[in-house]
Chains A and B, each alone.
Chain A
């Protein structure tokens, strides 16, 4: 019985999707597990995001791998269901994955305890628990980009610096009515006290496809700025409703989840001037994207439609893998092969000022800070592309870290 099952496991092991690679990468492969939701809730992001991840890893393999080690990916659909995510995780772990990316908040949350126990690195870029930035509490979890708290503070900071200051302003937070939508509330409330502005939150029910009543109310509040906090189809509805209700696009600021597709769906030039938080540069200009075009997309090795290359979510995917590969490189250099979850973690914690050749703000991860500083910038839709308005920066990190500490403490107490 046991041998039979081991045989089965062997077959399963052979299921690991090889990204391929013809170059000199000939040492034993490093396995990354990209276990994401391709069919349920996050499909609006995950297809592009995952394409960026695959293309970048392909680029690495095509150009010699990580210190000669090729990277293999294990890609599975989890349909955003925790039990399927956990199955895929357990399987990937057996197959030797040292890094896992669920790109799904519920699945990541359900897996936190397991990755901590199994010592597998879990990256939770732009999703998952914000308090996972607390490296001591969550040694194997790496948000590695600005948490929602950092995004909120940065947007507030932008208003403060570039749009006439925060003091005595009326800010509306229009959010999807879910834990994710409510996440920025505490930091914004804290800021409202510090900076003396009015804040009101407006929740709309998920999935956010119908928000008209909410926006009538928002209009009545006569906000100076609206921060929209949603994801997927709800975002473009928010933008349309905001504009319909006479809110100038310039005064609409969004969480990171607002993309080219959303702009297309809003249609015309209605969205011109809408701002969003940006954790990673979009477009095809960054050198890494150029390399991908040359080495991966043009030879026909791309993982998806070439049109997606350079889109916001694609580039975020590229950035996550760029950081991960960098961490792997550092780890192998420092600790040698084979790479384990623990050495990879320490590799991550050695990353200093890494910007993926201009794709993203320089990120520095330490044993305590797994967020990497919470850097980002504000960009604006100009009808064609997202045009950066500011340099990479961060803001009010003390408030952010107050939240991080508080929730991490809660997590430690719960254990």
Chain B
């Protein structure tokens, strides 16, 4: 990027954020930590069973060395650096090294397919990529071979399979580090110089919207946004200094950057990185963090894991669990309703803490968690209550990438089941006339990357339009209903938000995904994706033999099981919005097929297209359908397979339940 352009950006940012101190940036935080708390552990990574530790001094030294090295590759202010891979210390170091050079890390999800990466690279004219291992290197080489010519440097962390046979432009981070160290030694003032280069007005990271609708948009977040967001949250008591944090969520997701880099630098977190994604749960237990963030799905999975574990457990343990857990859940429900437990109940709960709750939290690795959070989408009431009943002060965040995901959260004292909480200090919130939630604060971004139209749509008069529908309660707590854009109407003019219903369905352990249909139709119907783990286990318990996902999904017993779940949800919906028919799909929604996003949000258009014959059958009264299923193989080829799918009515069951 041209220096004038950068300078221009800087000036405009200064004008927008007069309160920001120029040298108050992330690298400064790192330098301060290394100076004041140099011996403290900043980062741990589990490597071959043991935890490698990095102190703040190590941290700084590596970031500086990498920055010095990166500079020799020609990376400079305004350059975008692609980051692909699972959480690795070297990648974090590399990102901050880029930030030091006023370049912008642009993380991508490691399982993103090459086309998407290529379009991201093209949009951001990426010249340098920071990747985890050979797999990602190969992916990038493929993109380069496919015609993307600007990729000059591929820096990789894990040298396995690459050592001594690096492809053109590929360089081990270890070698870059050595190069940078040598340079730092030669130039004694370089480190100090590097540290003073960034500005609070620089973009610290370039994140991306999920792309639920249309192509992903780049969301640049500046040092200042991140710092003010973190400070607001910490001021409200949502983070404390020195938290032990587990960095296991994707690096491309806003939360990881905010927690693992933003908050970690500001509040000196001890960040822990699991050995692999598959070992994350085990490693979580070894670390026992004090701060834990999980998506509602992750919490729900955890609950499923517990329930499956308990159902397999021995008699006494199972009985104790089934006594204490409902007791505690009921206690928690009443507590949220404002009724305090009696002394006897408190004593009994303490007994349960020793016998069940404590051991459970220990098994999950949540024994030390004081700040368990969730965000992203609505959380099932039973899941929420369960973990709160366990004694975890589980709370929900509400926010978007655009506002560093730090916007609204449930306060520790007054939590109710249906509200998202109160805005952070420093965050203004209002509801627009058409019911949209608007926010304004210093941690809201300054505009999309190279997308003035979208920016103008989202940022109006300093207010950010979240696109969510909601309202404020009398006590100032926010209730989020769903996407404004998602509000649809049935043919009869009933207004509903499919996601809202889907989430209710997904609160069932047996349902992994659901897609609610009904827009411009006579009634609501559902495509159901069963949860293979939970239903599979249920099938084993109940002696239902099955061979595959597709087979299991079509078992009459499974249909009966799902029917009950659907009927249960119908019970809390207005009668006109009852789900009348559903189909159990023969496969899961697959991000590779574009049916869901990487964060598993539905892409309704794709689904409508893929499953059109099934959807028709849901509305033409047929009891079954032969479906030509499209299959994508891992090679990228696709084929078709004939599937026989049953279509079920819920109404009868519902009537039966009412009788």
In the complex, is A directly touching B at CB under 8 Å?
A: no
